[in-house]
Amino acid sequence: MSKKDQIDTTKLPKHIAIIMDGNGRWAKGFGKFRIFGHYNGVKAVKTTVEAAAEIGIKYLTLYAFSTENWNRPKTEVDDLMELLVDTIKKETPTLQKNNIRLMSIGNTLDLPEKCYLQLQETIDATKSNTGLTMVLALSYSAKWDIVNAIKNIATKVKNGDILVDNITSEMLDNELSTKGVPDPELMIRTSGEQRVSNFLLWELAYSEFYFTDKLWPDFKEEDLYEAILNYQQRERRFGKTSEQLITN
Ligand code: FPP
């Protein structure tokens, strides 16, 4: 039986988040510039989005550009921004055809104007699509998002709209840029690195982590299926005991 056929479609994670890592090393392996890795990373994005949509995943969050990535050499940042604009523009008809909705999280106002406008245009054009929601994390860092959320809550306290004692975790959920998106059940990171790198720190509280040595441009449908199968073998206890899970 193929990996895809082994997946229990009644137990799919609703939301998968991915740290797409290893583009630079992949390019280096071919003696090429880093941008060559990012170009091929886009191919892996296409493959993964289409495979996820096909098996019925509802949300897919991709860490495409972190707040810290602004510190990369200017040529790489410029090339990446260009690639983002071109890809989003070129792929908009495919998103429409596949009923995929685009969303973004992060400080997108920091993006070059051309990139920001194209992003907003595609978000707007796909907003009524009801299939997979693809969430692009752009100029994103979880600490940035959490600090913003705290500022918003503090302002409400200052204005007398809420009492400090009434602050809840749901209130924070609603102030984050991931508002309305369920927390990811599964987080995948490629390239052998095993860290979270300021990605969805709040939302990953109970996620299962899956690490693969594959570099992102080498990530194929089969790798996504493998990660899902691995996830489906895990027992998610949310702080309870195994026995409680059986009796409940
Ligand atoms: C990490 O690899 C990858 C990035 C920082 C950029 C990822 C962006 C893409 C794949 C393009 C996305 C495009 C769309 C439209 C979603 P790295 O450069 O850190 O690799 P390294 O760790 O080997 O140096």
Shortest-distance Cα residue to atom 3 of ligand 1: 21
Strand-pair partners of 63: 19, 137
> What distance in angstroms lies between residue 20's CA and the mean position of ligand 1's atoms?
6
Task: Name the band, by pLDDT with cuts 50, 70 and 90, for residue 242.
Answer: confident
CA distance 152 to 150: 5
Is 248 known to be catalytic? no
Q: What pLDDT, on a 0 to 100 scale, did the predictor assign at position 214?
A: 98
Enter the CATH code of domain 10-141+183-234.
3.40.1180.10
Q: What pLDDT, on a 0 to 100 scale, did the predictor assign at position 239?
A: 82
Shortest-distance Cα residue to atom 11 of ligand 1: 42
Region of residue 106 (phi > 0: left; psi between -120 and 50: alpha; otherwise: beta): left
Q: What pLDDT, on a 0 to 100 scale, did the predictor assign at position 248?
A: 65
Share of the chain above pLDDT 90, in %: 94
Q: What pLDDT, on a 0 to 100 scale, did the predictor assign at position 241?
A: 82
CA distance 225 to 57: 11
pLDDT digits (tens, 9 = 90+) for 68-111: 999 999 999 999 999 999 999 999 999 999 999 999 999 999 99
Q: What pLDDT, on a 0 to 100 scale, did the predictor assign at position 87?
A: 97
129 in Cβ contact with 100 (< 8 Å): yes
Q: Which residue has the higher pLDDT, 224 or 235?
A: 224
The overall pTM is greater than 0.75: yes
Shortest-distance Cα residue to atom 7 of ligand 1: 64
Q: Ligand 1: list residues with CB < 6 Å.
A: 20-25, 34, 38, 41-42, 45, 62, 64, 69, 84, 87-88, 136, 191
